[in-house]
Amino acid sequence: MTNGSYPILAREGQWHMVFATGVALGVHYFAGPVWAAPFWIILVFIVQFFRDPPRQIPDISGVVICPADGKVIALGEVEDPYLKRPARRVSVFMNVFNVHSNRSPVAGKIMERWYSTGKFVNAALDKASLDNERNALWIRTDDGQDIVVVQVAGLIARRILCYVQPGARIARGERYGFIRFGSRVDVYLPRNAQLEVSLGDKVKGAVDVIARFAPPAQEK
């Protein structure tokens, strides 16, 4: 299945693209192509930053998919700061050249949402998970698995957007938010989750599987 009916260029960037196009056209018309060249380059950067291509979402039971494009920068056993439990964390760093729309790693019910103000240190640093501005969603799957996915602002990220609220249902791979200009996403998983990625892996949101849950044991 594919993600929902969102435009290929993210709506969050529409104003930026209109403004940049207007400036480039104006400078080109009044000052010529040489002076306009830097503004056309800026427009190209904005278009590539706000691109949001459709994705083929895996239709496989018991898997957790990546919520964002980027690079796996942290894996391991940690204390989940939201559900106060031992957990396994997968952290994905998005640079300015990655797609920045965020997608739900699982299908289920949104149990809670937490927003925290904070700093804007480099999102590649481990302390960014607790020190930076962030938005966390607690999602409970239909088979009772609790997943927390956290949008974390970065060094130049200044806007975290989230469009869902507690009580709503969300589909696996559904687009639920956006972070502007470089950031990271943390996923906190139950300890019974089997990780399917390694440090340094390049991953694609809504496509790559980052973890899976073993099927329940069959009663004899």
Catalytic (active site) residue 61: no
Q: Are residues 35 and 122 in the same domain?
A: no
Active-site residue (options: 91, 101, 104, 183): 183
41 strand-pairing partners = none
Q: Are residues 139 and 92 in the same domain?
A: yes
**Token couple for 96:** 């300015």
Average pLDDT over residues 92-113: 91
Does residue 82 register a pLDDT over 80? yes
CATH of the domain at 142: 2.70.70.10
Distance CA 112, CA 178 (A): 18
Mean per-residue pLDDT of the chain:
86
Q: Which of 54-58, 79-83, 108-112 has the lowest mean pLDDT?
A: 54-58
* Both tokens assigned to 88: 């396994």
Judge whether 2 lies within some domain.
no
Distance between CA 188 and CA 146 in Å, rounded?
A: 9
Lowest mean pLDDT among 37-46, 85-94, 157-166, 209-218: 209-218
Over 90: is that where the pLDDT of 148 sits?
yes
Residues 95 and 128 in one domain: yes
- Neighbouring residues of 161: CB distance < 8 A, sequence distance ≥ 6: 12, 177, 178, 179, 180
Going by pLDDT thresholds of 50, 70 and 90, the confidence category of residue 10 is low
Q: How many domains does the chain have?
A: 2
Least trusted range by pLDDT, from 25-29, 64-68, 126-130: 126-130
Same domain, 188 and 127: yes
Q: Which residues constitute the domain of residue 105?
A: 63-213
